[in-house]
Amino acid sequence: MKSLLFLFLMPLSGFVPGKRSSSIDPTGTYRLKGIVKNNRTIGHSGELRVRLLDEHSVALCFYINAGYPNYRSGTLLDTLAYDGDRAEYHPRQDTSCEIYFYFEPLQVKLMQVMSNPQSGCGFAPGVFAPVAFPKVSSEIPIIQSLEGHGS
C-alpha cells in the first residue's frame, strides 16, 4: 500500500524515475566570503572558477581558507567528470573520500563524503567544509592555480 501511495505522489512532486533534470552550465566564478570582525576573517572563505569543457567534463580551480585563528587553506586544480549538475573529485592520495560539487543556477554546494573520519580529502584538517558558494559571474574564468590566493 505504501508503494502505491509513493507511485501516486511521485508525479505530483515532479520526480519521475529515469528522468534527469536539465543540464546546468556551471561556467563562471563563485565566491564565499567569511565574516570580518576586528580585521579578522571568521569562518570559511574562498573562490571556485569553473569552465564547462564539454557536456561531460569541467575544468576548475578552487581555493578555500578556514579563517581565523590559523587561516589554513587548500587549493585544487583539475579536470573533472561532469554529469548534468554535478562534478566529483576523487583525490589520488586519499581514496577514502570524495568531494562533490552540486551546481545550481546561482550557487554551487560543496559536500565531502568519506569512509575515514580522519581524512581531509587532500586538505589540511579543518580546511574543507560543506558550504555553498554564491555565483558572482557567468563569464568564462581563467583556470589557473589559486595557491597563495589569500596571501
Task: For 13-25, write each residue's pLDDT tens digit.
Answer: 444 444 445 789 9
Question: How many domains in the chain?
Answer: 1
User: What pLDDT, on a 0 to 100 scale, did the predictor assign at position 2?
Assistant: 40
Q: Does the residue 33 lie in any domain?
A: yes
Question: Digits of tens for pLDDT over the chain (151 positions)?
Answer: 444 333 344 444 444 444 445 789 999 999 999 899 999 999 999 999 999 999 999 999 999 999 999 899 999 999 999 999 999 999 888 888 899 999 999 999 999 998 887 777 888 888 888 899 999 999 999 999 888 665 5
Q: Does the residue 87 lie in any domain?
A: yes
Q: Does the residue 12 lie in any domain?
A: no
User: Which cell numbers hold the place of 148?
Assistant: 597563495
Q: Does the residue 144 lie in any domain?
A: no
* Cβ–Cβ under 8 Å, residues 79 and 101: no
Decide: helix, strand or coil at residue 13.
helix
Q: Does the residue 114 lie in any domain?
A: yes
User: What pLDDT, on a 0 to 100 scale, did the predictor assign at position 149?
Assistant: 65
Q: Does the residue 127 lie in any domain?
A: yes
List, in order, residues 6 or more apart from 112 with CB less than 8 Å away.
97, 98, 99, 100, 121, 128, 130
User: What pLDDT, on a 0 to 100 scale, did the predictor assign at position 3?
Assistant: 40
User: What pLDDT, on a 0 to 100 scale, did the predictor assign at position 14?
Assistant: 44
User: What pLDDT, on a 0 to 100 scale, did the predictor assign at position 9?
Assistant: 40
Which range marks the domain in which residue 95 is found? 21-134
Q: How far apart are CA 127 and CA 144, in angstroms?
A: 20
